[in-house]
Amino acid sequence: MKYPKTTRKYCPSCRTHQVHNVSVYKRGKERTLNHGRRRLERKKRGYGSFPKEIFHKNAKINRKTTPVLECTECGKKQYAKSYRVKRLELQEV
């Protein structure tokens, strides 16, 4: 899917329509000491195979990609509507 690199959207911080720069949301690095990771490591310790069932009947082949809009005036970021596409391509308009 083709998506513009810049777009005019409503900025809730400025309370007007402004030009926004668009980028694709990327998940940050997971912390190794958060509670869910510690729980899974404790469950896996001393065990022959993976303790939780691995789901094999995957119905969806695409992930939802979320565009991130950054206001050029105030610099605040907000999320746009996410799309379930194979590839989100940013292009100049």
Q: What is the 3-state secondary structure (H, E, C) of 17-79?
A: EEEEEEEECCCCCCCCCCHHHHHHHHHHCCCCCCCCCCCCCCCCCCCEECEEEEECCCCCEEE
**Residue in 62, 61, 63, 42 with CA at minimum distance from that of residue 52:** 42
Q: Mind listing the domains of the chain with CATH numbers?
A: 1-26+62-93 (3.10.450.80)
pLDDT (tens digit per residue) in 22-61: 999 999 999 999 999 999 888 888 767 777 777 888 888 8
pLDDT digits (tens, 9 = 90+) for 7-33: 999 999 999 999 999 999 999 999 999
Asked if 7 and 78 touch (Cβ cutoff 8 Å), the reply is no
Give the per-residue pLDDT at 57: 84
Structure tokens at 36: 């869910």
> Residue 88: pLDDT above 80?
yes
Report phi then psi at 82, rounded to 5: -85, 150
pLDDT at 63 over 80: yes
